[in-house]
Amino acid sequence: MSSLRTGIEIDSNEAGVVNSSDDSSGLILHEGSANASRSMNIVWHKCSVEKSDRQELLQQKGCVIWITGLSGSGKSTLACALTRALHSREKLTYVLDGDNVRHGLNSDLTFQPEDRAENIRRIGEVAKLFSDAGVICIASVISPYRKDRDACRSILPDGDFVEVFMDMPLCVCEARDPKGLYKLARAGKIKGFTGVDDPYVPPLNSEIVIQQEG
Ligand SMILES: Nc1ncnc2c1ncn2[C@@H]1O[C@H](COP(=O)(O)OS(=O)(=O)O)[C@@H](OP(=O)(O)O)[C@H]1O
Ligand SMILES: Nc1ncnc2c1ncn2[C@@H]1O[C@H](COP(=O)(O)OP(=O)(O)O)[C@@H](O)[C@H]1O
């Protein structure tokens, strides 16, 4: 047993910790934690059951399907339809919806650019864990900045990140406005709303682009 400064006692073998260290913040960080790169002397602990074993068990390939687009572009609708369709084919999926994740894990984050970036970074890391578990993880998040989306792609093996761009014109999304948020943004009651007074930077090379008919 080892006692951390947090007061939490953990069995280092149970936790799979090979090596850990203090940093100047006084935190003890472990491999795989969100802040691992700030820490020194951490070594990846490999387990005998690997992604390939889990995929074999589940008879599927773990991956991330990343749905990006403006508010009202249809991300959540598509994510739910896709998870339902895959589920009915006996595939294990999990949806990470921006709105939902902001109720829990990311409830400390605002819509300021740096918080949006952190929102996407965390969702990207969680999606990677699901993918490693063998699950088909469907992330539906505005993810307005290309740099952040590309960073999520870069932490996954080639082919495991499938970007789906909901290429809906702003006027279509705004006309739908199911939550009344565009109306509030136009009235100046929400500041920094994507597409109104905060940018959406479209993808350049999405695997899939969804556009309106006609
Ligand atoms: N300022 C601002 N800009 C954009 N969206 C806003 C904002 N404030 C609240 N909302 C609501 O939050 C939902 C988007 O959350 P995300 O986590 O996907 O956004 S982001 O990727 O961090 O930009 C988004 O949900 P969707 O409409 O499903 O996209 C909005 O309902
Ligand atoms: N393909 C579509 N055609 C017409 N309306 C749609 C379509 N997909 C979604 N919608 C509607 O558009 C609105 C926004 O969809 P939603 O999935 O909540 O978007 P987002 O998650 O991108 O904010 C909802 O009222 C939804 O019913």
Residue ID of nearest Cα to ligand 1 atom 17: 98
Tell me the per-residue pLDDT of 139-159, one tens digit each, with 9 for 90 and over.
999 999 999 999 999 999 999
State whether residue 54 is helix, strand or coil: helix
Residue ID of nearest Cα to ligand 2 atom 5: 74
Tell me the per-residue pLDDT of 115-144, one tens digit each, with 9 for 90 and over.
999 999 999 999 999 999 999 999 999 999
- Annotation marks residue 143 as catalytic: yes
Nearest to 78 by CA among 20, 140, 21: 140
Distance from CA of residue 143 to its chain's centroid? 9
- Give pTM, 2 decimals: 0.87
Cα dihedral 133, 138, 139, 144 sign: positive
What's the ipTM? 0.99
Structural domain spans, the chain:
2-18+54-211
Nearest to 120 by CA among 187, 34, 52: 34
HSE-CB for 105 with a 13 A CA cutoff: 17
100 CA → ligand 2 middle, Å = 16
Residue ID of nearest Cα to ligand 1 atom 30: 71
Distance from CA of residue 179 to its chain's centroid? 22
Tell me the per-residue pLDDT of 73-109, one tens digit each, with 9 for 90 and over.
999 999 999 999 999 999 999 999 999 999 999 999 9
> What is the position in ligand 1's atom list of the atom closest to the CA of 69?
29
What string of DSSP letters covers 87-129? HHTT--EEEEEHHHHTTTTTTT--SSHHHHHHHHHHHHHHHHH
Which of these CATH numbers, 3.40.50.300, 3.40.50.1820, 3.20.20.70, 3.30.70.20, describes 2-18+54-211? 3.40.50.300
